[in-house]
Structure 1
């Protein structure tokens, strides 16, 4: 071994230390920009192409599990369930079997779209008056503890899809996740950041709110928040999934698992009973579609989800040709923002569990879209939009995934625990957290979304599907609370109006308008934030940002990507059958095929 002189060693130390010191003073992303590409936008990367099957999820290992199931003879539904189970383990900040699920499935045998609403309900034996008594004067449901918990719908959703379309035994579908839960997997970087963020949020709430967090701490944070590269294990979840795979949905909703959950919830002060779990069921629903232009149609699920908000935006925006301006122009951003605000004024007024409140059918007509479009001032942001008067005919964290197979089946699936990782409650020894979706109920008894016994709350999570010339074309989803409908529309605009490929459409800078009247607010009285905030990513030019401010928008430039959602999509060439996949640069995910 050669020994350096003291002088040489000092010089070498200076050379090696200099870059580190420079990085400490200036973040590396500000020291150097993106490289070039031989084709496509410099800020994007290539879509993934494959012929036999494809998966796009928020974690590379979940994508690999989906492809493994496809290669072993499963179809797209089997693979989607397998990937979703894996994400509940690997991305617990976004989803898990304590939450709800929605899906759109294209079945090539019948050439039809099937929608599944697998969302849970409130306790059947608890009235609004009883809930208000427990809230002790609070004006909204809390984000943690037993009161915002609704029945977890995901497991029932898995079995509904599997019984109708699946091929492999459920035990085999869940087996890869059972193995990873026992043996461990390395934590991904963005998920590690969200785990740290979640732990800090729970600890802040514990300073002012009393709720059981010991189980969650032992399950997820025994040594603090896991960091990128740390091996994370969840043997309790492995046992739970193994039981579900062996004994079926009854184990979760009627058997030993149900008894553990109900006993735990009741100890926390919840009104849930075994009958509530035993009576839970998912619902098959009909997706609705709105035509945009050039033969493209966007398809979404009905309430209690917010999917129809995206269709309302499409029906508003089809009245102006955005292609007359550049994609990053203030005019395009202004119209998208005002269309979102108009649609969400209706969301806040009308969207709720349809079993309790009928949705005005006129909301999705082109005529109504024209009426709402006429309210947009092309030069200025309108200070406040109210809901329309259609005629009656009768921080949320989420994961989205999509899988397609060699028969042409296409699955668009979204799943969530809602805010953060959920409400902080982990039932004894089961390895998952309950969702806090009930936080989205209104406490105004006159509101369609008011809390009632056995009711599903307003839901933010929405899968999407795109048709071209009447045939199946693309699955897509863009997770992230109120970002989702406006994100779906931005992807559509990027591809249809501006010719972006499936990867560029997701990588391009987004906007996220936040605020306006909310589905949790009272029907009467002023909105808490009528104008709202227009959050934009740094990819928008400074001149555009200033022009939007001059138009009256409250614009905020946000650079960390957190509030702009997580995108996955798969497109099928109608002539060759070749799949193209895109995934989200703001997450850890991967699109891959074979």
Structure 2
């Protein structure tokens, strides 16, 4: 029986169906550009690269050439899916001592999150070019052309963008280049205005003509490094020149007969999505009503166990040994499941890391009828990254150094060329070897929660993908606070309180609960869904 969510008029505008292909992303312009590439004969990987460049223009606060990310690819001619790691890595001169800490251990003046000391070596362009050259069919010039035009003509400022600007304008104003673009000088932007970035258009034109080397070895690299160096950062030309993409095997697990393919370290997401699903597999969650007290309680307890393991073990496996097989073991999950009391909340931790999490990043999913699938999550880390634009380039720089632990000897502490821990989880699901769904989400450490809940609703409750995405969500990590959106039944929430949960109410459609964009294959069609917590849309052909 198909389960649907009530009052879905707004959300259903984000649902789309297609026979040949589907694109779901965080911005309508980016989705349309992806469709345009597919209609010109490009494959899903060509479209994914074009959407990647476009989303960096249309939603610059969340990703772009100054950032990095992950891409899971399953092309029709590949026996197995592959994973591209183009996450930013720490500069060679980065150390745990590079920031000043106060008596509480917090970084003074947010130097790890704002400004030059927060900038890591950007990997997005290298990742996009690698994907295009190895798995695509079109030229870099062809996939960049729509984004160049978009940057020149401008993108519509939405309410969500205005909200981001209101929060981060106090930092953006300190960088003249950022102020010029994102604060419209001193005028500011309101919803309905058009934001243009001619400098970024010019940068992309140079990349289109001269290739990636101009970014990592040429004048663009020089502009990025000069901007960082003169503001006290440690990024060097050698760091830029040394950047490389890592081709990895994705992590693979199963859930009730479905194959789950997702992100390996330095992302914790794929491993702990699989771990959480393995725990849930020991219970008949499909018999629980979605977002009932029993459903939310079981989700909460499973997430606590997974997040405890994440905090204890997860880091860049090039620097730290991580028990990946054990964490994804069904037997291990059964032992964890035995710790769950279905009637009472288990105490997990005395601290609340919510205040240290961010809800930035972007995700998009693409698939076609030939079996080409792409799932991409990418970021500049916090909204507007370091709040710095490299002079003359229009490129907003990342603040990914903020994802490292500031303590020495932590598994996620800073080291040269090390990649900080992430939860970005571009995910694919197969049933009997055939595509079932492609999805992922932004949301910091809440990505795991968002993706697991949507997967469970698709598989355990046979929900339509748009309904599964838009359905109210909860969040639980290693703290004892269960966060929930204010659309859930008050009586069920009261029952949760009686079970010992500490509860915190979020907005009805809270962007801190993620922004899932996904596609699902069903009955000869490809169905797209886009999250109403963001500005996203899906479009099919």
TM-score by length of 1: 0.84
The structure with the larger Rg is 1
Query: Of 250, 258, 264, which aligns to 2:227?
Result: 264
The CA RMSD measured in Å over matched residues stands at: 2.0
- Separation in 2 of the partners of 1:588 and 1:309? 27
Q: Which residue of 1 aligns with 2:123?
A: 153
Q: CA deviation at 1:128?
A: 3.1
Structure 1 contact 102–413 (Cα < 8 Å) conserved: yes
Q: Which residue of 2 aligns with 1:553?
A: 501
Confirm or deny that 1:250 pairs with 2:197. no
Structure 2 contact 116–233 (Cα < 8 Å) conserved: yes
Query: Of 519, 530, 533, which aligns to 1:570?
Result: 519
Q: CA deviation at 1:225?
A: 4.0
Q: Deviations over 1:75-100 (max 9, x none)?
A: 11111111121111111122111111
- Separation in 2 of the partners of 1:224 and 1:238? 22
Q: Could you tell which deviates more after superposition, 456-465 or 137-146?
A: 137-146
- Separation in 1 of the partners of 2:326 and 2:502? 31
Structure 1 contact 124–276 (Cα < 8 Å) conserved: yes
Query: Of 245, 254, 267, which aligns to 1:282?
Result: 245
> Alignment length, in residue pairs?
521
Q: Secondary structure at the residue paired with 2:465?
A: coil
Q: Deviations over 1:254-302 (max 9, x none)?
A: 1110011111111111122111111111111111222111x22322111
- Separation in 2 of the partners of 1:232 and 1:572? 36
Q: Which residue of 2 aligns with 1:592?
A: 539
Q: CA deviation at 1:492?
A: 1.2
Query: Of 75, 98, 109, which aligns to 2:77?
Result: 109
- Separation in 2 of the partners of 1:549 and 1:494? 23
Query: Of 320, 325, 344, which aligns to 1:357?
Result: 320
Structure 1 contact 76–405 (Cα < 8 Å) conserved: yes
Structure 1 contact 70–405 (Cα < 8 Å) conserved: no
Q: Deviations over 1:100-133 (max 9, x none)?
A: 110111111123211111011111133334x25x
Gaps in structure 2 of 5+ consecutive residues: 351-357
Q: Which has the higher contact order (CA 8 A, sep 6+)?
A: 2
Q: Which residue of 2 aligns with 1:579?
A: 526
Q: Could you tell which deviates more after superposition, 163-172 or 39-48?
A: 39-48
Q: Deviations over 1:531-563 (max 9, x none)?
A: 2x2111122110111111122212122125221
Q: Secondary structure at the residue paired with 1:147?
A: helix
Q: CA deviation at 1:234?
A: 0.3
Q: Which residue of 2 aligns with 1:306?
A: 268
- Separation in 2 of the partners of 1:142 and 1:279? 22
- Separation in 1 of the partners of 2:437 and 2:188? 37
- Separation in 1 of the partners of 2:381 and 2:34? 24
Structure 1 contact 156–282 (Cα < 8 Å) conserved: yes
Structure 2 contact 371–435 (Cα < 8 Å) conserved: no
- Separation in 2 of the partners of 1:247 and 1:487? 40
Q: Secondary structure at the residue paired with 2:127?
A: helix
Q: Which residue of 2 aligns with 1:220?
A: 182
- Separation in 2 of the partners of 1:467 and 1:255? 42
Q: CA deviation at 1:57?
A: 0.9
Q: Secondary structure at the residue paired with 1:418?
A: coil
1:471-482 alignment to 2 at 5 Å?
471-482=434-445
- Separation in 2 of the partners of 1:536 and 1:136? 33
Q: Secondary structure at the residue paired with 1:127?
A: coil
- Separation in 2 of the partners of 1:430 and 1:406? 38
Q: CA deviation at 1:411?
A: 0.7
Gaps in structure 1 of 5+ consecutive residues: 1-38, 207-211, 387-394, 517-529
- Separation in 2 of the partners of 1:324 and 1:54? 31
Q: Which residue of 2 aligns with 1:74?
A: 42
Q: CA deviation at 1:406?
A: 4.4
Query: Of 376, 380, 392, which aligns to 1:417?
Result: 380
Q: Deviations over 1:181-210 (max 9, x none)?
A: 11223223333332333325x37xx8xxxx
Confirm or deny that 1:64 pairs with 2:13. no
Confirm or deny that 1:188 pairs with 2:188. no
Q: Secondary structure at the residue paired with 1:218?
A: helix
1:46-445 alignment to 2 at 5 Å?
47-129=15-97, 131-132=98-99, 139-140=106-107, 142-199=112-169, 202=171, 212-222=174-184, 223-293=186-256, 295-307=257-269, 308-360=271-323, 361-384=325-348, 395-445=358-408
Structure 2 contact 363–441 (Cα < 8 Å) conserved: yes
- Separation in 2 of the partners of 1:181 and 1:586? 24
Structure 2 contact 268–421 (Cα < 8 Å) conserved: yes
Change (3 A) 1:224 1:355: farther
TM-score by length of 2: 0.92
- Separation in 1 of the partners of 2:294 and 2:30? 40
- Separation in 2 of the partners of 1:244 and 1:261? 15
Q: CA deviation at 1:498?
A: 1.4
